[in-house]
Structure formats: structure tokens, C-alpha cells
Amino acid sequence: MANSKAKIAVLGGTGDLGWGLALQLARAGYPVIVGSRQAEKGERAAAELKAAAPEAEVRGTANPEAAAAADIVIMTVPYASQLPTLESVRDQVQGKIFVDATVPLVPPKVMRVQLPEGGSAAKQTQEFLGEGVRVVSAFQNVAAEHLRSGSLSDEECDVLVCGNDPDARQAVVELAEAIGLRAWHAGPIDNSAVAEGLTSILIFLNKRYKLDGAGIRITGHVRG
């Protein structure tokens, strides 16, 4: 029987965050395509995923081919690689949901919030890709080690999901919940600045208090 779930491309899937997300999505039953700047690296990462999740539907290739073959594209690259990656897949992602997990970290001062002039990395992505792409910001505050460790609990970290299209946000909320996280609609793409900035604070907390992958939790009671 053909898999009815959306095909997910993870651009930058050879890195810690990308590989961890790909692993969790594959284990949740999603067909996953690992993208990399070089097809060979994507293929190697996919082989490692297959070894970790033998029943998963996984393959690897170069970023443009991965983006073209997917229904939803997730970008998990360092800030310095954000624009080159977007340039390489701009045509392939038109009409799709594009999830940007980029954090504007500027080494060596990664514990200092340094948002770009445009307000946020995800907002820059939306402006670059155009209105034909529904950009959603998510997964910036999830520690890669939790994703790579195997099993997740919604107690590990909440996910703030920002984007201008509510339906696209909902699709990403469902992806996060499918891999065991708790996700929240957090408003338009401009609000991504908060999630992006929080990452530097979490890095600081990890170092200052010797924490193991600090995350965030939304508290309160749902009314009625």
C-alpha cells in the first residue's frame, strides 16, 4: 500500500538538527528525503537513518532534487548557509509549505541575540521565496540531542510555530505532534523573531547551569 503521508524533504539533513528531525519523522511513518549540498552526503546520511530506523522510507540526494520531490520542505542549515540554500531551491519550493528552522547565530557570540535587519531569519526567507511559498518558522528551540536520542516526549520542549498562513502552520503543528512534541500556533512570521532569539538564551542557560538541552514550556490552562 502506498504511503499516504506527506513526503518531507529535510535540507541540511546531514547536520545534527536536520538528521534528528529526519529520524523522528521517518520513525513516525513519513517518507523522508535527506537533502545536502552534495548528493553523496545526502545519500550517506540517508543510509545512517536507514540503519537507525530499518522500516523507514528514506533516501538522500542534493537539496534541489530533495525539495522538488517533497510536499513539505524543512530547512535546517546554519545561518551562514541560509541564503545559498534558498537560492538553490527557490524554483523547486513554489506552491509548497517551507519550514525554516534557521537561527541567526553569529559565531563566536552565539549566546548573544543577533537578529537580522529584516527582523527575523524566517521573515527574510518569506520575502526571498515570495508569496507563492507558505513559509513557516518552527523547531528552533528543540535541542538536536533530544531529536537524535531516539524517543521524544512532549515534556522535552514546546514548539512555537509562526507563519502567515494558518493552514500551513497547522500542518507543521501536526508534524511536531506526530514526533512526540507539543506545538503551538504562535502567530505571523514576524513573531519568529522571538523563537529565533530564544535559542541564544537557551545556549546561555545550558552553559551557565550545565543543562542538558534546555527547552521552553508554555504554561496555563485552556479555558472552557
Q: List the CATH number of the domain containing 152.
A: 3.40.50.720
Grid cell listed for 76: 535546517
Residue 27 lies in a domain: yes
Residue 178 lies in a domain: yes
Quick one: pLDDT at residue 1? Answer: 47
Quick one: pLDDT at residue 32? Answer: 98
Q: What's 90's DSSP letter? A: T
Q: Which domain holds residue 193?
A: 8-209
If you search the block for the grid coordinates 526567507, which residue do you land on?
125
What separation in angstroms does the CA of 133 have from each of 40, 74, 127, 158, 188?
28, 13, 10, 25, 14
Residue 203 lies in a domain: yes
Quick one: pLDDT at residue 157? Answer: 87
Quick one: pLDDT at residue 222? Answer: 83
Distance CA 130, CA 7 (A): 22
Residue 220 lies in a domain: no
- Report yes or no: 42 and 16 within 8 Å, Cβ to Cβ: no
> How many separate domains does the chain show?
1
If you search the block for the grid coordinates 542557560, which residue do you land on?
205
Strands (E), 24-138: 32-36, 58-62, 72-75, 97-100, 134-137
Residue 117 lies in a domain: yes
Task: Look at residues 144, 113, 139, 138 and name the one whose alpha carbon lies nearest to residue 213.
Answer: 144
- HSE-CB at 48 with a 13 A cutoff on CA atoms is 17
Residue 215 lies in a domain: no
Per-residue pLDDT of the chain (224 residues; tens, 9 = 90+): 467 999 999 999 999 999 999 999 999 999 999 999 999 999 999 999 999 999 999 999 999 999 999 999 999 999 999 999 999 999 999 999 999 999 999 999 999 999 999 999 999 999 999 999 999 999 999 999 889 886 666 556 899 999 999 999 999 999 999 999 999 999 999 999 999 999 999 999 999 999 989 999 999 988 87
